[in-house]
Amino acid sequence: MDNEAANQKDMASKAHADVHADEKATVDGRTAKLRVFRGDAAGGEEVEYEIPLVEGMVVLDAVLHVQAHQAGDLAVRWNCKAAHCGSCSAEINGRPKLMCKTRVEEYDGGEIRVHPLRAFPVIKDLVSDVSWNYEVSRGITPFTTSQQAPFTMYEEDVERLYEPKKCIECFMCQDVCHVLRTHHKHAQFAGPRFFVRNQWLEMHPMDEADRLSELKERDGLGFCNITKCCTEVCPVDIHITDNSIIPLKERVADEYYDPAKWLMRKIRGR
Ligand code: SF4
Ligand code: SF4
Ligand code: FES
């Protein structure tokens, strides 16, 4: 066996190590039923699987058990199994959740329907194509400064910057936002995840770029009507609407709708 094949075997055995070990610790012989979306961009349907219920089992464990024992071709994306990487986001009973942070017991023996994120095109089964998000990210004006690091900053500035940096790019806020999910305004709206990123950049005291016109004209900040659905699903508790979107809206309003600033822009011709 060459090195690459040995590495792949090792990775595969690590990926399923818990799944096999779990069989020894099933809860009183009980089982759980999952209805998992099987299909691709052309369409698909839910397929029911029954798995042995293991104490502390999360939905990702259950899906991996199905993959290991009943449906080897089931596509699922995951990495850390510790709510850090953001890869395993899916819709469980219609609500975006991290599969590795959602316990099967939460559903108390009831229905567990697992689907891919709906705001993006499905590739296969539980894997959707989230690459549009990375295109949006690349379009954001990067951190720009003429200062030399390390920077000296006030503690309150550092604290303000801490929250948006917690983002794990699970894209569940993007998935739940009606502007993308229902109205499909991907071409005109960057989405809550990127308002969080813009907030970090705009509030960084050493950053010298101005992204307000991008936010207003290109990124569609005005489409957000502060429903707070994005905040409710964020697994790392970023207060997306209160701490990112509303302050950015206030800055855009100050810049573009303040009569004195409006007059100055007219005089300068921009
Ligand atoms: S608050 Fe704004 S960005 Fe968040 S889900 Fe609602 S409309 Fe979308
Ligand atoms: S802001 Fe929260 S919900 Fe949105 S991508 Fe980041 S971690 Fe996920
Ligand atoms: S596997 Fe990394 S967040 Fe779930």
Give the pairing type, strands 95-98 and 122-124. Answer: unpaired
Q: Give the mean pLDDT per block of 10 residues along the chain (270 residues).
A: 45 43 65 97 97 95 97 98 98 98 94 96 98 98 95 92 97 98 97 98 96 97 97 98 97 88 72
Expressed in angstroms and rounded, the spacing between residue 88 Cα and the centre of ligand 1 is: 22
203/218 Cα distance (integer angstroms): 20
- Identify which of 18, 79, 117 to mutate to test ligand 3's pocket (most ligand atoms within 8 A of the CB): 79
Return the residue whose CA atom lies nearest to atom 8 of ligand 1.
177
Locate CATH 3.10.20.30 in the chain.
3-128
Q: Which atom of ligand 1 is nearest to the CA of 229?
A: 5
Give the angle subtended at the CA of 173 by the CAs of 181 and 32, to the nearest 5°.
90
- Domain 3-128 class, CATH top level: alpha beta
Expressed in angstroms and rounded, the spacing between residue 176 Cα and the centre of ligand 1 is: 8
Domain 131-268 fold is Fumarate Reductase Iron-sulfur Protein; Chain B, domain 2 (1.10.1060)
Return the residue whose CA atom lies nearest to atom 2 of ligand 2.
234
State pTM to two decimals: 0.88
Q: Given this model, what pLDDT does residue 21 score? A: 44
CB contact set of 216 (below 8 Å; sequence gap of 6+): 222, 252, 256
Q: Given this model, what pLDDT does residue 264 score? A: 76
Contact by Cβ (8 Å): 48, 125: no
Q: Which amino acid is at 235?
A: P
- Does the beta carbon of 99 sit less than 6 angstroms from any atom of ligand 2? no
Q: Given this model, what pLDDT does residue 270 score? A: 57
